[in-house]
Structure 1
Amino acid sequence: MENQFRHLTSLIGDPVRSIILWTLLDGRAYTAMELAICADTSPQNISMHLSKLLAADLLTVERQGRHRYYRFSRQEVAYAIEALANLIPQKKNKKPVTTIDTDIKYCRSCYDHLAGKVGVLLTENLVTKRVIELDDKAYQVTQKGIKFFSELGIDVATLKDKRRLFAVPCLDWSERKYHLAGSLGAAMLAQLLELDWMRRKKDSRAIYITAKGSSELYNNFQIEV
């Protein structure tokens, strides 16, 4: 176990591979060339790093036509990378810093679910309203919650049948509090995007809130944006 852990941390700790893993946190699949550009390295070098990540089962690859697309092998890898970011020391600013609404710390995707300040506030509101309850290391949806999510267009029963974690707390690296992950968290973000309450910022994990979304987030979750 110790040797396996040492091998895993050495894989993640490499500068090029760490950029690959950080880039994939936006939930999209990337080609080797795209990842080489993000990591500022050559196609030959990126191929070697991708091979090591594939061998360690951190990534998976899918072929579409002439292209090969890389993504995380499972959502637990994304959670682990996001959790590692919590080890980054908080900067002590002498002057207050104004938060920009589209900033990645304010509202972003963490793999396939909502994160940042907005993601944390939304999760806290769901807990306060007893829509979900933290039970040990997972969230449970209450009877009130089943109705709440149904009205939002989310079928809880269908999500529970999926072969992945249903509703788990994911420690937010910028807020140092939990946001909602798992299939329920993914469904939440997908539905908020579908309803046009939120939109993805091009070429970024940042998500911005529409005028409609600003009103609906306050009405449904008491979040002022």
Structure 2
Amino acid sequence: MTDHATHLAALAHLLAHPTRARVCLALLDNRAWTATELAHHTNVTAPTISEHLTLLIEGGLLTQQRQGRHRYVRLTDSDTAHLIETLAAHTTPTPPPAPTLRAHRANHALARARTCYDHLAGHLGVAITDALTHHGLLRQDTGFALTDTGLAWFTDHGIDLPRTSRRPLARSCLDWTQRRPHLAGAAGAALCHHALTFGWCQPLGTGRALRITPQGEHALADLLGIDPHTLR
């Protein structure tokens, strides 16, 4: 028990610094970032970000890859991303007002639709999860699980699900802006990949925010009965 407590305290210490927390939140976009990019994003110096990244790597939250003069880092795996998103959802329910109009718009875009590592989140992710559940494709009463009808739905619509992955097929991820669960796991990743590949949504700038396209609104209305007006 002492070892578990020690490890938990060490993990909490890693995320207790605002700069390291900002790094982990930024990396939820499932991209590899350079130390220079993260220094700019967190508004700290190169030596400072290097120290923080070293701690996060040694603590197991990040992995790194060196390419020439650059060091690229990313979250270790989907479990780490799930941990970060879940912890973020347990922060203060009412965030302070955005200091600028630009920041307000950015926050609104993230809340409307975004990626959470490799699956869909925000209002879009929750709406899709609710629709899958409403149509009997996903069960939430005993933990997240695709039903037989749900498995057939994914197959019928050309959304490939891995059958040999050690990763859970469906998993609940608590959405930090909506305070409700959205679909993660292999099924969530496959659905996100399909949505991006077929133009249901598009990256909005270089961050995690997504723009739902008219094609996406039509597809989600047709396949899951989601009212397009609720996604705007």
TM-score where L is the length of structure 1: 0.89
Distance 1:100 1:72, change over 3 A: closer
Which stretches of structure 1, 4 residues or longer, exceed 6 Å deviation after superposition?
98-102
Q: Which residue of 2 aligns with 1:192?
A: 195
Q: 1:101 to 1:127 in 2, by over 3 A?
A: farther
Number of the residue aligned with 1:183: 186
Choose from 21, 43, 47 the match for 2:46. 43
- Per the TM alignment, residue 92 of structure 1 is displaced from its structure 2 partner at its CA by 9.4
**Of 124, 127, 130, the match for 1:124:** 130
Q: Distance in 2 between matches of 1:101 and 1:46?
A: 24
Q: TM-score, normalised by structure 2?
A: 0.86
Partner of residue 112, structure 1: 118
Partner of 1:153: 158
SS at the partner of 1:47? helix
- Is contact 1:102–1:206 with CA below 8 Å preserved after alignment? no
Q: How far off its partner does 1:100 sit?
A: 9.4
Distance 1:184 1:168 in 2: 8
Q: What amino acid sits opposite 1:219 in the alignment?
A: D
- Matches of 1:29 and 1:121 in 2, distance apart? 28
Which position in structure 2 is the counterpart of 1:63? Answer: 66
Structure 1 vs Structure 2 CA RMSD: 2.3
User: Do the aligned residues in 1 keep the contact of 2:35 with 2:50 (CA within 8 Å)?
Assistant: yes
Q: Matched residues, percent identical?
A: 36
Pair 100,212 (structure 1): closer, same or farther in 2 beyond 3 Å:
farther
Change (3 A) 1:14 1:44: same
Structure 1 pair 101–150 and aligned structure 2 pair: CA distance change class (3 A)? farther
Compute the displacement of 1:173 (Å): 1.2
Query: What 5-or-longer segments of structure 2 have no aligned partner?
Result: 97-103
Structure 1 unpaired stretches of 5+: none
How far is the alpha carbon of 1:114 from its aligned partner?
A: 0.2
SS of the aligned residue for 2:109 comes to coil
User: How far apart are 1:89 and its partner, in Å?
Assistant: 2.7
Cα distance in 1, alignment partners of residues 183 and 105 from structure 2: 22
Q: Distance in 2 between matches of 1:101 and 1:217?
A: 24
For 1:91 and 1:133, locate their aligned partners in 2 and report how far apart those are by CA, in whole Å.
29
Distance 2:147 2:7 in 1: 39
Pairs aligned (count): 218
The Cα of 1:216 is off from its aligned counterpart by 1.1
Cα distance 1:4–1:102, how it changes in 2: closer, same or farther (>3 A)? Answer: closer
> What is the distance in 2 between the residues matched to 1:42 and 1:204?
21
